[in-house]
Amino acid sequence: MNTGGSAARRVRAAGWLDEPLPPVRLSIEVFPPKTKEAAERLWQNLELFVEARPRFLSVTCGAGGIGATTTYPLAVAIQERFRVPVAAHLTCAAGSRAEIRALLERYRAAGITRIVALRGDPPKGVAGFVPPADGYAYAVDLVRAISELGGFEVSVACYPEVHPEAPSPDFDLDNLKRKIDAGAVRAIAQYCFDTDRILRFRDAMVRAGIRCEFVPGIMPIHSFQQIKRFSQACGASIPAWLAELFEGVAEGSALHGMIAATVVSEQVRRLAAEGFRALHLYALNRAELPLFIVQILRASRVSTAD
């Protein structure tokens, strides 16, 4: 059942689109679809996302490539169709310095000047990241190159639970500092279900003198099994309380949806109460839970104003 359409109707019925922006803004991340059907669904969902007035929509870059034939056309098409701010993810993977520079010039020509600069992950089944010939080895090198070109607003990734390949937490934090010092203005966090860790990471950033916008990443759990797989790959942990909540719950059931909605709403409300004014939503091209989060933030605003 696709509930996205009815959620949008509720949003319209509430007259919400005429209201001022809520104090917590969302950026929403989508990925280039692989099939015609998936593309159709994505475009339907994008309409709903745009109605929720995101701060920007970001388009990922598939593992193992810089996205010239995937990220670029989708990012440009979204911007042309909706006239919303779009950020393109750009990785060091599989592209020489010259190819990356040429792609950046194409983004600039298309009016896309927000870049999420990443090292990237190796393609599925390949162990370890191997920098391309005459390419960049780490995200910091890419950030430096983009800063040298000028005219782009750069975000980078950060890891409240530490990147799995980092030699130590301090090294990883220092790596973030180097990325910010190289010209990035925003650190977007890997998702982390342990909100206390996100708050401790914010404190650690302040102690380390990292001055930039810190945006927690929010992962709605459309499928707990899928999130377990993702988490193994990216180093995010699944807390015992979360595993217990989903224990024995059928994927796709109403109960699964209720638990997922409760988990994400508690996290988003707590982060809002802790003073975060921007969150990054890993939508995975799905609309139901992202639109639910939009509702929650709006309701939070009403309740804090009361």
Query: Under the rule (CB under 6 A), what is the footprint of ligand FAD?
Result: 60-61, 63, 89, 91, 116, 118-121, 138-139, 157, 163, 165-166, 171-172, 175, 188, 190, 217
Nearer Cβ to ligand FAD, position 45 or 190?
190
Task: Number of helices (H) and strands (E) in the chain: give both, helices first.
Answer: 11, 8
Query: Residue 143 CA to chain centroid, in angstroms?
Result: 18
Residue 305 beta carbon to ligand FAD: minimum distance, rounded to whole angstroms? 30
Which residues touch 125 (CB under 8 Å, ≥6 apart)?
none
For strand 114-118 and strand 213-218, is the pairing parallel, antiparallel, or unpaired?
unpaired
Residue 238 beta carbon to ligand FAD: minimum distance, rounded to whole angstroms? 17
Residue 70 beta carbon to ligand FAD: minimum distance, rounded to whole angstroms? 10
Q: Tokens 């709006």 identify what position? A: 298
Query: Token pair of 227, please?
Result: 């999130």
CA 180 to CA 297: how far, in whole Å? 29
Nearer Cβ to ligand FAD, position 120 or 257?
120
State the DSSP H helix or E strand holding residue 155, giving kind and residue range, or none if neither: strand 153-158
Residue 14 beta carbon to ligand FAD: minimum distance, rounded to whole angstroms? 30
Query: Token pair of 58, please?
Result: 């970001």
Angle at the Cα of 116 (from 112 to 118), degrees rounded to 5?
Answer: 140
Examine the residue annotation and report whether 288 is marked as an active-site residue of this protein.
no
Nearer Cβ to ligand FAD, position 8 or 283?
283
CA 280 to CA 299: how far, in whole Å? 18
Which residues touch 105 (CB under 8 Å, ≥6 apart)?
none
CA 191 to CA 41: how far, in whole Å? 24
Q: Tokens 């950060």 identify what position? A: 158
Residue 108 beta carbon to ligand FAD: minimum distance, rounded to whole angstroms? 19
Nearer Cβ to ligand FAD, position 67 or 257?
67
Nearer Cβ to ligand FAD, position 52 or 157?
157
Residue 28 beta carbon to ligand FAD: minimum distance, rounded to whole angstroms? 12
CA 90 to CA 119: how far, in whole Å? 8
Annotated catalytic residues are: 29
